[in-house]
Amino acid sequence: MWSDDSVLIFVLQGIIASINYVGGNYVTANVTKESSSSRISSLNTTVSKPIPISQNRAANDVDSKLKLTKAISVNADSSGAYAVFPLSPPPSPISPFFAGNGEVEETFTYQVKKQRQRSSHIQPDVKMEFDFLKAKAMTDSYETLQNFVTELKSDTRENIHNLTKAMDKAKSEVNAIEHIFNSTINLQAIKVANLTALSNETSRSVKLLQYAHEKDKWSLMQQVSNLTMLVENLQRERFEERERMRAELSRLQAKVDNTTDEIRVHEAHLRYGQQTMLSLRDSVEKNANQITDLERSGGPQWVEQTVGCGGVVVANSGLISYKFRQPYLNNERCVWTIRANTRSKINLQLLEDGFQNQSNSDFLTVTEFTDTEDQHPVTLITSTRLEHGSKGLHTFEGPVIFVTFYSDSSLPGTGFTLRFDGVGNITDPLNINAIRYSNLHYSLYNGVFTYPSDENGVTYQPNELMTLAINPNTNNSGNSMKIQMKWSDLEKDEYCEFDSINFYGSVQGSYALTKRYCQQDEKFNGEIIHSSDGIFLVIFRSDASTQFSGFQFTWEAD
């Protein structure tokens, strides 16, 4: 089929032909290629716009196109111009040739040339008849074109009316939008004015705040300057006060030093008086009967202890037998305090034992004083270890020693029998310079120890040597013990050379100094000392001069 644009071109060409038709004859009109092309282009441009067409026109479109196609043709003369004339009916319908892509291959001019070639062969009489028929067809086409033009004008007026209404509506909408836009512009202008006023007010407030800040800053700087001067004055006064206190302390220290020197002079005078008294006593007590009586007054001559893990044994000679030929337990810790009356030395011999001897892990140890007469503070030393089969005779400094039995967690053995004998010079217990011995043994797991035990203001004695063995009855090798000092009131000295309390902790049967105290009128808060093996030896020693109220501590086995 032909396209709508091709049909429209034929219709317009028919209109041009009808204008040149007069009384059934055809007047040839010379039309230049330029004018025809421009008119056809103008008509094509106009028709390409959408124009509403009535239902009547749509129904007659096909017939009109066919009539126009049969009635109108264009010939080219010798000058190259085109003329409109009636066409002879072709012997066969004009059917355009389509290319493969659906486009019309033959042009309109090409079809006109073909029709001219065909019409030249028609006979004259037939041609006259055909001319008549063509004229009649042309008349019908003219009427059809008039109807089409009338409908076209009506549709154009209707479209113009619709366009006018649309333009009026668009104009009213544009006016409404313009009104809204102007209102918005006015509202924004009011907001901008308000913001400008607010900005001006804010600027004034900022200037006022800056002025107040500068004023406060100056006032604060004045206050800081005043405070700085006050602090400098206080520091200067504090420095002067510190210097006065230092001078006062120096004066008091000098006074204390002078007093200490005076006390030492008095002590020297006292010792001289004591030596004088001793000389007088020696001149009175020189016979052997008095010496024998003094020896007997010190304690028994022989004692045997066969029960208990640890304790205090006081005698010139004796036996200590513990689980003899009976199995002892693993991890046992037992300590005995042996005092050989007034003898200065002690002989010790292991008579029999059944210690487990695979690694010599079960044994006895002997701990003695390095010196008890003049040494301050006292010092203990564990000097000897008696293992299985050690039956030799051993001599130790007396009159007090400590024997400790130690077993580990391996295979147990059987107990032992031990003999001791006091030997050496006899010390006169009535001598004012003689040491006053007291020996204690505690087997409780915890407790409080105060010395002296009398709390009615009684002080300890001069030349005291007090020993305390704290040996809880336990067989757990993991046990340890802790001691917390509560208070002490002893004769004060930087090196503890006058009065002191000494704590020795055990480590596998041996003892080491853990802590020594010699503070005067001092309370302790939370200071704790430990013994890993669960045994403590506590030694208190005082000299012959000033005495105080003693000390107090607590102990607890873990």
Beta-carbon contacts of 84 under 8 Å, excluding residues fewer than 6 positions away, are 13, 16, 17, 20, 26, 29, 72, 73, 74
Q: What is residue 289's three-state secondary structure?
A: helix
| Stated pTM of the model | 0.49
Per-residue CA distances from 346 to 315, 366, 396, 432, 510 (Å): 11, 11, 5, 24, 19
Check residue 448 and give its pLDDT: 94
Check residue 495 and give its pLDDT: 84
Long-range CB contacts for residues 100-103, cutoff 8 Å, separation at least 24: none
C-alpha 447, offset from chain centre: 46
Check residue 537 and give its pLDDT: 96
Among 474, 480, 484, which residue's Cα sits nearest to residue 533?
A: 480
Question: Under a CB-based contact definition with an 8 Å cutoff, are residues 349 and 378 in contact?
Answer: no
Question: pLDDT tens, position by position, for the chain (558 residues)?
Answer: 455 555 555 656 666 555 444 444 443 333 333 444 444 344 444 444 444 434 444 444 444 444 444 334 444 444 444 444 444 444 444 444 444 444 444 455 666 566 666 555 555 667 787 878 888 788 877 888 888 888 888 888 888 989 899 998 999 999 999 889 989 999 999 999 999 999 899 988 998 888 888 888 888 898 999 999 999 999 999 899 999 898 988 888 888 888 887 887 777 777 766 776 676 665 555 444 444 444 444 456 788 877 789 999 999 899 999 998 999 998 899 999 999 887 889 999 999 999 987 777 899 999 998 865 555 677 888 889 999 888 899 999 888 999 999 998 888 899 999 999 999 876 665 565 678 889 999 999 999 999 997 666 678 988 899 999 999 876 665 578 999 999 999 988 888 888 999 999 988 888 999 999 998 888 888 789 998 888 999 999 998 888 899 999 999 987
Alpha-carbon distance of 514 to 31, in angstroms, equals 141
Check residue 402 and give its pLDDT: 96
Check residue 360 and give its pLDDT: 76
Check residue 63 and give its pLDDT: 46
Pull the structure tokens for residue 315.
């005698």
